[in-house]
Amino acid sequence: MSNSNATASEPSFRESVDIMFNRAVALMDLPPGLEEKIRVCNATYTVRFGVRLRGKIETFTGYRSVHSEHMEPVKGGIRFSLGVNQNEVEALAALMSYKCALVETPFGGSKGGLCIDPREWDEDEMERITRRFAYELIKRDLINPSQNVPAPDMGTGEREMAWMADQYKRMNTTDINGAACVTGKPINAGGIQGRVEATGRGVQYALHEFFRHPEDMKAAGLKGTLDGKRVIVQGLGNVGYHAAKFLSEEDGSLITGIIERDGALVDDGGVDVEAVHKWISKHGGVKGFPGATYVENGAEILEKDCDILIPAALEGVINMSNAANVKAPLIIEAANGPVTAGADEVLREKGCVIIPDMYANAGGVTVSYFEWVKNLSHIRFGRMQRRQEEARHELIVGELQRLSEHLGDQWSMTPNFKQKYLRGAGELELVRSGLDDTMRTAYQAMREVWHSRDDVHDLRTAAYLVSIGRVASSYKAKGL
Ligand code: GLU
């Protein structure tokens, strides 16, 4: 889906990011010129390369844009899609700078893209194309553990990251930190547990934190818990799938709508996310899925009544052409830039609360940060302390057991306590704990600004204020 329905006055994605940035800096007191220094993209590298495929040379165009180097390495995904262009990559790189600052991952912002439809090529061909693109970027230190660390994005995943990491190692055979040159790798190639689910998991943790604040829920006119809330998800890719899966399986939310490329599925009683996901992998779309009602014009489901709307695919899907009709009181932006600046204004005026992209989808880069640290430390999280922690817990449990035997049956331990308490945290538990902590802390930083300043009326402006403030302090500290 694209924003092709948008009206002529709709700003582009890149303009939208700039408009939102400008709205926030107007409320700040930055030294002259610093605002522009932060807003502009430092550099964008464009590469055109040829790969011999199916008897002819195919030329591909790719980009890697570096937005801000106030901290290094710079970080951000690489997207494989036919829609990739310089403006898009630059807007996404800017969002990465603000995102990293907001969730306190020590990186500047970057983003890359390759103009390609990955479904057109088979696995061997994709490997050759990806390696060739990686070669071009590695040669210029645009993939490098200490300078620029890509990750998956739309159209890329563990497979592409493994090829890129391997390409880097072939070209830098003595770099002991080579594995840290990209994140989102498979476990057996230096990845970390919980990275694939991380962005969707982060969306879930963000909603948990939102629902811990009655004042914020009231702003959206919501009550109670996530249990029974009606959720519509647009895009059942990696992010949308995991968010929908965790919300329905763990929090009791009802996924009342799933919007995909070829239409939407709706069911007020809740659609079975796992079954739809399997159906899509097999049939390439949602059409024909037997367990829900199919709607051919998927975009109209964005306007359906629900409690929470999760746009989890492309930028610009909520724009001037449909914003006025969107009924969700709460939107959580799992995708980057799904709401245009114009739509943002319309929705704000209607009282809709938007949990902004730079916070809502930061789970991915947060766990990427853990993976990068793991690669640099060359040891799995929890490896040193897990058994020692378990041994200490055994001591306590032994003591409790002795006491309860002495005091009688009514003082016995609750069932499962022993088993749950004894288990030391492994890598996955530690990753989830670090992600949860990050999502809570960042939300609190945003809401503090949202509620304490009379001139801030929404979470997005609050998010920009926090992150631009942090980028500015780091430039100031450097003496720039
Ligand atoms: N592509 C993801 C994003 O937009 C992840 C970036 C990363 O892990 O570096 O945030």
- Chain segment 277-315, per-residue pLDDT in tens: 999 999 999 999 999 999 999 999 999 999 999 999 999
Residue 8 — very low, low, confident or very high, per pLDDT cuts 50/70/90?
Answer: low
**Mean pLDDT on 205-224:** 98
Mutual angle of helices 459-478 and 427-452, in 10-degree steps = 100
Structurally, the chain folds into a number of domains equal to 2
Same structural domain, 124 and 179: yes
Same structural domain, 138 and 248: no
Pocket test for ligand 1, best of 79, 96, 242, 336 (most atoms within 8 A of CB): 96
Instruction: Judge if the beta carbon of residue 183 lies within 6 A of ligand 1.
Output: yes
Same structural domain, 141 and 226: no
HSE, CB side, 13 Å, CA atoms: give it for residue 207.
Answer: 31
Instruction: Judge if the beta carbon of residue 336 lies within 6 A of ligand 1.
Output: yes
pLDDT at 459: 98
pLDDT at 5: 45
Pocket test for ligand 1, best of 181, 199, 373 (most atoms within 8 A of CB): 199
What are the structure tokens assigned to 323, written together? Answer: 């914003």
Instruction: Judge if the beta carbon of residue 148 lies within 6 A of ligand 1.
Output: no
**What single DSSP character describes residue 10?**
P
Between these two residues, 32 and 466, which has the higher pLDDT value? Answer: 466
For residue 333, pLDDT beyond 80: yes
Considering the domain boundaries, does residue 112 fall inside one?
A: yes
Considering the domain boundaries, does residue 475 fall inside one?
A: no
| Partner residues linked to 382 by β-bridges | none
Give the closest residue (by CA) to ligand 1 atom 8.
365
Of 244-253, 329-338, 395-404, give the lowest mean pLDDT range: 395-404
Angstrom distance (rounded) from CA 212 to CA 375:
34
pLDDT at 249: 98
Of 155-159, 394-398, 448-452, 454-458, give the lowest mean pLDDT range: 394-398
CATH number at residue 86: 3.40.50.10860
For residue 9, pLDDT beyond 80: no
Give the domain-ending residue among 189, 208, 243. 189
Same structural domain, 126 and 227: no
pLDDT at 421: 87
For residue 228, pLDDT beyond 60: yes
pLDDT at 418: 85
Give the domain-ending residue among 331, 363, 395. 363
Considering the domain boundaries, does residue 439 fall inside one?
A: no
pLDDT in tens, 382-391: 999 999 999 9
Same structural domain, 110 and 250: no
Same structural domain, 179 and 288: no
CA–centroid distance, residue 147 to ligand 1 (Å): 16
Considering the domain boundaries, does residue 419 fall inside one?
A: no
Q: How far apart are the first and last CA of the chain?
A: 42
Residue 378 — very low, low, confident or very high, per pLDDT cuts 50/70/90?
Answer: very high
Same structural domain, 218 and 339: yes
3-state SS, residue 18: helix
Same structural domain, 181 and 93: yes
pLDDT at 2: 42
pLDDT in tens, 18-32: 999 999 999 999 998
Residues 173 and 93: beta-carbon distance below 8 Å: no
**Mean pLDDT on 42-63:** 98
Between these two residues, 237 and 410, which has the higher pLDDT value? Answer: 237
Q: Which of 384, 232, 387 is nearest to 308 (CA)?
A: 232
Q: Which of 149, 156, 155, 202 is nearest to 165 (CA)?
A: 149
Same structural domain, 202 and 348: yes
Residues 331 and 354: beta-carbon distance below 8 Å: yes
CA–centroid distance, residue 445 to ligand 1 (Å): 21
pLDDT at 7: 52
pLDDT at 376: 98
Considering the domain boundaries, does residue 391 fall inside one?
A: no
Please report which residue ranges of 301-426 form alpha helices under DSSP H.
341-350, 357-360, 363-377, 386-407, 417-422
Task: Report residue 263: phi and psi, to 5°.
Answer: 135, -170
**Mean pLDDT on 94-105:** 98
Same structural domain, 178 and 215: no
Residues 301 and 328: beta-carbon distance below 8 Å: no
Residues 318 and 352: beta-carbon distance below 8 Å: no
Considering the domain boundaries, does residue 13 fall inside one?
A: no
pLDDT at 252: 98
What's the whole-number average pLDDT of the chain? 95
Considering the domain boundaries, does residue 213 fall inside one?
A: yes
Task: Report residue 472: phi and psi, to 5°.
Answer: -60, -45
Domain that holds residue 215: 198-363
Same structural domain, 49 and 128: yes
**Mean pLDDT on 190-197:** 98
**Mean pLDDT on 235-262:** 98
Same structural domain, 158 and 275: no
For residue 186, pLDDT beyond 60: yes
Residue 420 — very low, low, confident or very high, per pLDDT cuts 50/70/90?
Answer: confident
Give the domain-ending residue among 323, 345, 363. 363
CATH number at residue 260: 3.40.50.720
Of 133-142, 194-203, 331-340, 414-423, give the lowest mean pLDDT range: 414-423
Residue 235 — very low, low, confident or very high, per pLDDT cuts 50/70/90?
Answer: very high
Considering the domain boundaries, does residue 292 fall inside one?
A: yes
H or E segment to which residue 296 belongs: none
pLDDT at 298: 97
Q: Which of 133, 193, 190 is nearest to 164 (CA)?
A: 133
